[in-house]
Structure 1
Amino acid sequence: MKRISVFCGSSSGASQMYTDDAKRLGTQLAKEGNTLVYGGSKVGLMGTVANAALQAGGEVIGVIPRMLMEREIAHTGLTDLIIVNTMHERKAKMEELSDGFIALPGGPGTMEEFFEVYTWAQLGEHKKPIGMLNSHHYYDKLLSFFDHMIEQQFLRSEYHSMIIVETDPHQLIEKFRQYEPPILTKWINREQT
């Protein structure tokens, strides 16, 4: 039905709950007929979400830069593994292939991927849904920081509401289906709106 990019850690993190939720998300994406697009690794949450989708009969497309083939340990059992030259190409290819984006727990790389597609959405570069699977309250502090950005007038509330946050993969995917992007007015003079 759709291709969904998942950004997540090449580590499994400190809690088994992160692994469990990555499995649940991969399984749910496949069960609902979605193709998983992700960073192409077989380790950490990246490998977990891919393996779960494959085991549930889903298609999985990995996108990995040549320089990370050994470091991130490329997954060779995917439906398709696309090898690119740079991290920039990886993100561009994942955005091009995908109809939506979900962040599982991860580190700076996950955050960087998430914030890039989120910024592109704010600028009107795409109108695709963006979500977080808030596994084990992983994103609670980041979500509080978004509220702080709004209070300090560095983020408008309508842009914060673009991020779909759920703890259940099925509910997250369902909200992706219902997503209506806001009318973007980011660069219009506020006195005119």
Structure 2
Amino acid sequence: MSAVCVYCASGPVEQRFLDLASEVGAALARAGHVVVSGGGNVSMMGALVTSARAAGGNTIGIIPKALIEREVADLGSDELVITETMRERKRIMDERADGFITLPGGIGTLEELFETWTGGYLGMHEKPVVLLDPFDFYAPLLGWLRELSTTGFVSQRSLDRLLVTASVDEAIELATQR
């Protein structure tokens, strides 16, 4: 059994994004994986953990004190870790996960993706970093990153370290590779 950290939106989003988060949560649970999340029970984060538990899975939520009311803490989590800071939250999420999947999200999600991806590229961990993008949400970002590789600002090796897929099943397979 692996623990997979899923980064995603905690703010208002379209139904298709909520459905994607639900599909990922349920699929991870059915495959026997623990879901590690940011500890909120709203928006995509809430859909992810609710569907994981509904499918018989376990969830670990990690949330800083300051966001407990703002994100509405996932009190239904099998384990809810309350941290002092966002940096501590991310450190524990990283430590508790065997792999990472990023879904559509805003600046917080992007920051988590880039930090995890950079850490892997720099050899700070060997965990898979997966970008699940069935709606081409990240197409402009990926295009920009490919363009940066032509100028030398982003190496092809670093681009290769980010595993991109449009398939939920493939994302889970990639995130749980050892």
Please classify the TM superposition score into its range, dividing by the shorter chain length: over 0.9
The aligned amino acid for 2:162 is I
Q: Normalised by the size of structure 1, how large is the TM-score?
A: 0.89
Aligned positions of 1:82-121 closer than 5 A: 82-121=81-120
Runs of 4+ in structure 1 off by over 2 angstroms are 175-179
SS at match of 2:154: coil
2: distance between equivalents of 1:65 and 1:178?
29
Deviations 1:73-105 (A, max 9, x none): 101111110000000000000001000111111
Q: Normalised by the size of structure 2, how large is the TM-score?
A: 0.96
Identity %: 39
2: distance between equivalents of 1:135 and 1:102?
13
SS at match of 1:33: coil
Larger Rg: 1 or 2?
Answer: 1
2: distance between equivalents of 1:106 and 1:177?
22
What stretches of structure 1 of length at least 5 have no aligned partner? 180-193
Q: Match for residue 44 of structure 2?
A: 45
What stretches of structure 2 of length at least 5 have no aligned partner? none
SS at match of 2:135: helix
Q: Match for residue 8 of structure 1?
A: 8
Contact in 1 for aligned 2:128/2:177 (Cα 8 Å)? no
2: distance between equivalents of 1:10 and 1:148?
30
- Answering whether residue 74 of structure 2 is matched by residue 75 of structure 1, we say yes
Deviations 1:90-149 (A, max 9, x none): 000000100011111110001111111111111100000001110321111111111011
SS at match of 2:145: helix
The aligned amino acid for 1:34 is H
